[in-house]
Structure 1
Amino acid sequence: MTPAARPTASGTGPRRPAWAGRNYVLLTAAAVITGLGGSGALIASAFAVLEAGGSATDVGLVAAARTVPLVAFLLVGGAVADRFPRHRVMVAANVLNCVSQALFAVLVLTGQAQLWQMAVLAALGGTGQAFFAPAAEGMVLASVTGEQASRAFAVFRMGMNGAGIGGAALGGALVAAVGPGWVLAADAAAFALAGALRAFLDVSGIPVREATAGLLRDLREGWREVAGRRWLWAVVLQFAVVNSVVAAAEAVYGPLVAEEHLGGARPWGLALAAFGAGTVLGALVMTRWKPRRILLTGVLCVFPLALPSAALAAAVEAPVLTAVMFGSGLAVEVFAVTWMLALHQEIPEEKFSRVASYDWLGSLALVPFATALAGPVAGAVGRDTALWGCSALIVVLTAAVLCVPEVRRLRRREGAPAAPVADAAVAPDPAQPMLKAPAGGSGDGTADAS
């Protein structure tokens, strides 16, 4: 039954569901704003490097400069978020991202940007994300009642995915119209506005966290939470490989196949856009559908992720590839929502950020290696064989995870109480091209997948 809508102050005009309270609206608005800015900034940063005289290799170096500290500091970020109020960690991370992007924009607009400067600022942005992501995990679900958690998170994901699609399209157009510097400046402003919104979260009544024995002990406790749940570490290991092969297929092999068989960048861009549209529809589906066996449903929806690599290997026509990408986007969004619900339901609130940081680490750690090795592997065994191998790995690993009894048996518990909003977390979902990493997590331009 659809919850009653909440009228505006005047009694007329736009209405929102009764479960969409003040904190939920603030968190969703902040995620949409940073999603719009971050998607455009990814394009702008690449063109900023090229405009400064950099090569394709330099573009990759700047991208790697962001990824390395993101991976390196994730576990520390998770421990910090469990020691301090999470909303304050999120705001501090937004401030760091705002400052780094603003400096990046100034250097580009004044024509003074050098490669090392851009790499350092990208690294600062990655560091901010490493602290933001674990703190953000679960915040949205903690702001609504347990029985409405699925719908609330799906609506949040819908807004975030839509912002990512719109931000990429708008960012590309603005880079062409006014240059990358102004797009980077807009991203800095988006971080500032998002941080301000998150600073207004209602945290009254949240108990102060007690001091813990130390950072290393906190990390060990987080690891025990992960290692003690077979369903959790099985899926994290699964997606460590799934994310990496999907990244290799989409970032390396896909553009090459598009150039040779599909007619260039335009059809490949449409296929990627179809994937994004599929995630929006998947989130819409999850606003209504509440499967009982949440992990079984989610893991079954990982199988379609093998189809895009297979379609590229078979060199199908562009319309077929677009349809395949749309379907895989829909499926992975179902997984993202069910995974987030499982984490929110099963992980103790006071340890959530540490568990989320291990989830993020598993999602991201192998991606740089996979993309770096994609070319040599294709040279050794052939591109088509490499693509078929990507599909096979996804199928085999997903089938293996389904053999874990806890994955098949874990059921939704209706009406589970939500944790207090200020000190609860959201976990990695699939990302861009990440598939399971912040399942809705940051909304700050990070990949969506663990």
Structure 2
Amino acid sequence: MIRGLAAMQDRGFRWFFIARAITLTTGSMSSIALAFAVLEIDNDARSLSFVLTAFTVSNIVFILFGGVVADRLPRALIIQGCYVIDILSVGTMAALLFSGTATVPLLAILSVVNGASTAFVMPAMQGIIPQLTTPENLQQANAMLSFVRSAVTIGGPVVAGVLVATAGPAWAMVVQALGWIVAIPVLALVRLPPPAASGGATLFRDLRVGWSEFWSRTWLWAIVLAFMVMNAIHVGAWSVAGPYIAKNDERLGITGWGWVVSAEGVGVLLMTLVLLWVPLKRPLRFGMLGMATFAIPLTMLGVHPAAVLLAIAAFLAGAGMEVFSTGWNVAMMENVPVDRLSRVSSYDMLGSFVAIPIGTLVYGWLITHADVTTVLVASAVVYAVVALATLVVPSVWRMGRTRTTAEELADS
């Protein structure tokens, strides 16, 4: 049996993990702090939507350029530089709130800066992990990072809520900035080989090379196309319709919805522990089967939104989604050249994220103009069909681990 914490033996990954854990912990307060900061200025849902959309659109616009830069320059340095930008932008938000001079347009502009910074960080994060650990430890490394991410997703909002309620959103932003300040020198301890020479290639040529790498792998673009639909359904049907039903159906209620969302997070958390020890020899096959399980709680939300049963279904779906998350990261890192991984990841992120705002708007309209039960059941059917349809693609169904990794797993 493989050792669940073997990835921590790699010095570079160990320091990266510590830095990432710090920023994930403090960053888990960001959405709540920003939301209440906006509502403190203007208690209007449209203002909040405006600020959040500014972040999302900026992220989508810059994500491809982030991938190119992350393949050209030292990835740890890119992350550090973006953290400096985040410290300045979030620190400015906090200063505006402390001084009473914050406005919704100013927060939106600063959110655009944050969105652009994140667009450079995400591809760099994806590309750096294979440089920090051995192929046989990739699954464990991704599972460990996912464990921290899911743990703070469960506990972070609670701490943020208390801090915002007692001290105000500005102080939550201060804590977030302090996390980045601490993480920057920790990342300085990560040693990486120099990036491959770009050979004088232009930015747009690098984008074309990244697209060629992306499009040449059927398993990759097939799953990204599926997630374009699945993410739009997930965010729209679950995140929009869920709170709406919770507020209007006594079988669920607002408190019950909180338990359901937490149960999903617990499912993710526990599955990360399993994946520290159990190897995924068919990462995409089991991953897409795991994603299809989300159709179960989505159907229940529409047909019978009883809190306990829905929480159990959400727990199982969370576990299934984590199987995909870890399996997908491993498949990408083992099958895409490391010097092009950030660019390919940026195309993955663009395709996966681009329809999310559309899904949010569409479902916001649907749940007020159509029967909610019909909408959710139909959405669950489409979601399951799209997820399972990817298994028809031979490279999705058959993909295993690389030969070297498979031999390591067989010997463990």
TM over 0.5, shorter chain:
yes
Name the residue aligned to 1:435. Answer: none
Name the residue aligned to 1:346. Answer: 335
Native 8 Å contact 1:96 1:128 kept in 2: yes
The alpha carbon displacement at 1:190 in A equals 1.2
The alpha carbon displacement at 1:244 in A equals 1.0
Distance (Å, rounded) in 2 between the aligned partners of 1:123 and 1:255: 27
Native 8 Å contact 1:31 1:160 kept in 2: no
Name the residue aligned to 1:115. Answer: 104
Native 8 Å contact 2:195 2:339 kept in 1: no
Distance (Å, rounded) in 1 between the aligned partners of 2:195 and 2:141: 25
Name the residue aligned to 1:41. Answer: 30
Which of 315, 334, 347 is equivalent to 2:323? 334
Distance 1:270 1:231, change over 3 A: same
Structure 2 alignment gaps of length 5 or more: 407-412
Name the residue aligned to 1:323. Answer: 312
The alpha carbon displacement at 1:25 in A equals 1.8
User: Given the alignment of the two structures, is residue 405 of structure 1 paired with residue 412 of structure 2, yes or no?
Assistant: no
The alpha carbon displacement at 1:234 in A equals 0.4
Name the residue aligned to 1:90. Answer: 79
Name the residue aligned to 1:66. Answer: 55
Distance (Å, rounded) in 2 between the aligned partners of 1:407 and 1:2: 25
Native 8 Å contact 2:72 2:195 kept in 1: no
Distance (Å, rounded) in 2 between the aligned partners of 1:225 and 1:158: 30
Name the residue aligned to 2:211. Answer: 223
User: Given the alignment of the two structures, is residue 237 of structure 1 paired with residue 225 of structure 2, yes or no?
Assistant: yes
CA RMSD, Structure 1 to Structure 2 (Å): 1.8
Distance 1:198 1:19, change over 3 A: closer
User: Given the alignment of the two structures, is residue 185 of structure 1 paired with residue 181 of structure 2, yes or no?
Assistant: no
SS class of match (1:265): helix
Native 8 Å contact 1:247 1:370 kept in 2: yes
Aligned length: 405
Deviations 1:189-219 (A, max 9, x none): 112222232222123x536633342011111
The alpha carbon displacement at 1:17 in A equals 4.5
User: Given the alignment of the two structures, is residue 126 of structure 1 paired with residue 126 of structure 2, yes or no?
Assistant: no
The alpha carbon displacement at 1:238 in A equals 0.6
Distance (Å, rounded) in 2 between the aligned partners of 1:275 and 1:108: 34
Task: Give the alignment of 1:186-335 within 5 angstroms.
Answer: 186-203=175-192, 205-206=193-194, 209-261=197-249, 262=251, 264-335=253-324
Native 8 Å contact 1:245 1:370 kept in 2: yes
The alpha carbon displacement at 1:247 in A equals 0.2
Native 8 Å contact 2:72 2:196 kept in 1: no
Which of 62, 69, 72 is equivalent to 1:80? 69
Name the residue aligned to 2:15. Answer: 26
Which of 35, 45, 54 is equivalent to 2:43? 54
The alpha carbon displacement at 1:18 in A equals 7.1
Task: Give the AA of the match of 2:72.
Answer: R
The alpha carbon displacement at 1:345 in A equals 0.8
Distance (Å, rounded) in 1 between the aligned partners of 2:46 and 2:134: 48
The alpha carbon displacement at 1:20 in A equals 2.8
Task: Give the AA of the match of 1:213.
Answer: A
Distance 1:89 1:317, change over 3 A: same
The alpha carbon displacement at 1:232 in A equals 0.4
Which has the higher mean CA deviation after the structures are superposed, 264-273 or 64-73?
A: 264-273
Task: Give the AA of the match of 2:105.
Answer: W
Distance (Å, rounded) in 2 between the aligned partners of 1:242 and 1:292: 24
Distance (Å, rounded) in 1 between the aligned partners of 2:159 and 2:308: 24
Distance (Å, rounded) in 1 between the aligned partners of 2:218 and 2:243: 37
The alpha carbon displacement at 1:55 in A equals 0.7
Structure 1 alignment gaps of length 5 or more: 5-15, 418-450
Deviations 1:297-336 (A, max 9, x none): 1111111111221111013310111111111111100111
Distance (Å, rounded) in 2 between the aligned partners of 1:39 and 1:265: 21
Distance (Å, rounded) in 1 between the aligned partners of 2:231 and 2:195: 37
The alpha carbon displacement at 1:368 in A equals 0.5
Name the residue aligned to 1:136. Answer: 125
Q: TM-score normalized by structure 2? A: 0.94
Distance (Å, rounded) in 2 between the aligned partners of 1:155 and 1:18: 9
User: Given the alignment of the two structures, is residue 154 of structure 1 paired with residue 143 of structure 2, yes or no?
Assistant: yes
Which has the higher mean CA deviation after the structures are superposed, 389-398 or 177-186?
A: 389-398
Native 8 Å contact 2:15 2:186 kept in 1: yes
Distance (Å, rounded) in 2 between the aligned partners of 1:76 and 1:238: 23
SS class of match (1:415): helix
Distance 1:18 1:138, change over 3 A: closer
Name the residue aligned to 1:375. Answer: 364
Name the residue aligned to 1:443. Answer: none
Native 8 Å contact 1:32 1:163 kept in 2: no
The alpha carbon displacement at 1:152 in A equals 2.3
Distance (Å, rounded) in 2 between the aligned partners of 1:245 and 1:300: 17
Which of 149, 165, 171 is equivalent to 2:154? 165
Which has a greater percent of helix? Answer: 2
Native 8 Å contact 2:3 2:277 kept in 1: no
